[in-house]
Amino acid sequence: MTGSDDVLRELLAMDRIAVVGCSSTPGKAAHEVPAYLQDQGYEIVPVNPFADEILGEPAVESLQDVEGDIDLVNVFRPSDELEAIVDEVIARKTAADDVEGLWAQLGIQDADPEARAADAGLTVVSDRCMKIEHQRLES
């Protein structure tokens, strides 16, 4: 599911983004894209069990550890991890009723978990870069 421009705009209108696989290493896409989004006014919640803080925000181990509502989950993990991440997103949506969208970054896609996420009521985009799409659609 790649997403039409209308779907991309819908997700880009969301405010609080949990970034699964957010990196503390400058130069990596998993650091630079969330940093760009933060500079654009988005609230970033880094999800990385190996970091205490990223981009000046406290990092959490999993989506279940995020306090408060999440609008969108942005994924920077390999495609073969998407199934487990979708399980966690659906569990979070079921328990907290807060996650509205799932965005798998450029190069990340797996049709089965994406379909399950959509069936659970999530708006799903995969294999697209949130920074590139923001720059294209918001400029």
pTM for the model stands at 0.96
78: tokens are 């390999």
* Rounded-to-5 percentages of helix, strand, coil across the chain: 40, 20, 40
- Give the H or E element holding residue 79: none
Contact yes or no for 104/126 (Cβ under 8 A): yes
Sorted by where each starts, the structural domains of the chain and their CATH numbers stand as 5-138 (3.40.50.720)
- Burial bucket for residue 25 (CB in 10 Å: 0-12, 13-18, 19+): exposed
Of 7, 15, 32, 9, residue with least CA distance to 138: 9
Q: Could you report the per-residue pLDDT of 86-128, keeping only the tens digit for each? A: 999 999 999 988 999 999 999 999 999 999 999 999 999 999 9
Contact yes or no for 75/89 (Cβ under 8 A): no
Q: Could you report the per-residue pLDDT of 31-86, keeping only the tens digit for each? A: 999 999 999 999 999 999 999 999 999 999 999 999 999 999 999 999 999 999 99
